[in-house]
Amino acid sequence: MNKGCDLIVGIDAGTSVIKAVAFDLGGRQIASFPVRNSYVVGRDGSASQSMNRTWDDSVAAVVGLADRVDGLAERTAAVALTGQGDGTWLVGPGSEPVSDAWIWLDARAAPTVSSLLKGQNEGSRFMLTGTGLNTCQQGSQLAHMAVHEPEMLGSAEVALHCKDWLFLKFTGQRATDPSEACFTFGDFRTRQYSDRVIEALGLEQFRHLLPEIIEGTEQNFPLTADAAKATGLTAGTPVVLGYVDMAMTALGAGVRTEKTGSACSIVGSTGVHMYSKEARAVQLNDNGTGYVICLPVPGIVTEVQTNMAATLNIDWVLSVAGELVSEFGASATHQDLVAHMDKWLAASEPGQIVYHPYISEAGERGPFVDAAARASLIGLNSTHRFPNIIRAIIEGLGMAARDCYRAMDAQPQELRLTGGASRSRALRQILAAAVNSPVRLSTREEAGSAGAAMMAAVSVGIYRDMDACIADWTTPLLGDVEMPDPKLVSTYEGLFAPYKASRRALAPVWEQLAHHHGAALHSDDQSTARSPEGEAV
């Protein structure tokens, strides 16, 4: 590390926002700069993102950060990268994109997943990866492309993920990390690719598309002259390839500290529920769902269950409220409505309505996989008002979290929370009671970027190992312990039974609706794609 370098830059290329964040060498956040991400969704289930624009937006984030931090280039000891998980970012000759990336929200591979799940090798694939097959994953998407988009695969030289693409642009290196490599194509115990997994996916002839696996805490690569010119950083600055954003966010928020038995839930657009343990202690569930994701600590992994949608459910109901208000000539911003949520919660009685938070068009992936799953309110009567709906939706997030931890056979001794919605004390109380665990809020503002930066701090020798870094970067930023309300725990214990029974009973209804909507779609020749902001494109 060069003398005078006192900062690490972490870049988190998320689904909604790409952020560049500067940390000092002890983990204090100095400044950040966000750039709004964009992707396009289509009525055919597609969700795609321009790879070149993602690079341009990442450059803009670094340039914007430099405007906020004096002498950023000269002071940067390392740059670390993470980003949205899953998806397929195909690169061809000249390291140029083959097409727009298929991101994790893309649902086109659903029929292929259904077929693969019936294959005779699915059991062995799950035992090796520890990960349930779903439409988000690169393995599913490549298998689908092999049948329906063979010309794309024929033009590709390597299949990357989002952060891998940025790593290529920063360093010229084609590589991936142990987390995404192993939960998609490998064995989480060995942290290497598995030929048996690749065979189970039917991708033997495309084995050459899988890049080298590198460990970022042990290896870094120099920033290229071209990337230095674009970003304004110094050529040769060490660049570290972090793990997938779920792992980095959980690491930065406290999924692993000196206290054993802790868990971490990320309450963002999606809901991610993670429990850390030794790889040799993992006992896979019987329903073939969830993820096992390596952490950048030898022999340590996280068991993960992910809800496709978490705060997306809240965004939906608040957008409906805002539209209704505007119909009568008034106005209320999204921030206004969010600020009012705790008041609505206080004006409603707990445990009255069952809500299934499956609002995503891609269905659900944890703790069960069903691309046709859809949100529902059960138990409404004429006395219920809008505050009851708000409470039911947030309780639905609590029930979904409980469902996920039960599927992992985990009873967290302490649940660490991160994500924008976790700033609400009322929401934390609901989650604590639903999971029946004490909770602690991580006050780390940018946990994903921090997790990647922590890897860089180990990689360039600032810390001897990750646990030493965690002691400085993570543990001091955990808030006070908040105990669950025993009365609320009892209420949610009773609510969980109808929540789970009704979501099982609704599966054939979801399937019938999917057939109905599919028939309606095929009768309509026009298709409209929309950006995340809802604008036609």
| CA atoms 180, 164, 477, 7: torsion sign | positive
- Predicted pLDDT of residue 531: 41
Domain(s) labelled CATH 3.30.420.40 in the chain stretch across 86-160+178-213, 255-441+485-518
Report d(CA 223, CA 299) in Å as an integer: 30
175-201 burial: b if 16+ Cβ within 10 Å, else e = bbbbbbbbbbbbbbbebebbeebbebb
**What value does the mean pLDDT of the chain take?**
90
Give the bridge partners for 267, in sequence order. 271
| pTM summary value | 0.86
Report d(CA 363, CA 357) in Å as an integer: 10
- Superfamily name and number for 255-441+485-518: ATPase, nucleotide binding domain (3.30.420.40)
HSE toward the beta carbon, residue 270, CA cutoff 13 A: 27
Over residues 66-108, the pLDDT tens digits come to: 999 999 999 999 999 999 999 999 999 999 999 999 998 898 9
Right CATH for 86-160+178-213 from 3.30.2310.20, 3.30.420.40, 3.20.20.140, 3.40.50.300: 3.30.420.40
Please, is 391 exposed, middle or buried when counting C-beta atoms within 10 Å of its C-beta (0-12, 13-18, 19+)? buried
- Predicted pLDDT of residue 1: 60
Residues 101 and 108: beta-carbon distance below 8 Å: no
**Within 369-482, where are the H helices?**
386-407, 425-435, 447-459, 466-473
List all residues 6 or more positions away from 343 whose beta carbon is below 8 Å from its beta carbon.
none
Residues 271 and 263: beta-carbon distance below 8 Å: no
Residues of the chain with pLDDT under 50: 521-537
Alpha-carbon dihedral 87, 93, 95, 96, rounded to 10 degrees: -70
- Predicted pLDDT of residue 527: 38
Could you tell me which of 128, 469, 409, 412 has the C-alpha nearest to residue 279? 128
Q: For strands 414-418 and 439-441, give the pairing.
A: parallel
Secondary structure (3-state) at 291? strand
Report d(CA 358, CA 498) in Å as an integer: 16
Fill in the DSSP letter of residue 96.
-
- Predicted pLDDT of residue 519: 60
* Ramachandran region, residue 172 (left: φ > 0; alpha: ψ -120 to 50; beta: rest): left
Q: In angstroms, what CA-CA distances link 111 with 49, 87, 135, 291, 306?
A: 22, 16, 9, 21, 21
Fill in the DSSP letter of residue 364.
B
Tokens describing residue 107: 């649902």
Report d(CA 459, CA 296) in Å as an integer: 11
Q: In angstroms, what CA-CA distances link 171 with 18, 80, 98, 450, 459?
A: 19, 12, 19, 21, 16
Could you tell me which of 274, 177, 278, 273 has the C-alpha nearest to residue 218? 177
Residues 482 and 111: beta-carbon distance below 8 Å: no
Q: In angstroms, what CA-CA distances link 495 with 345, 390, 491, 500, 501?
A: 17, 16, 6, 9, 10
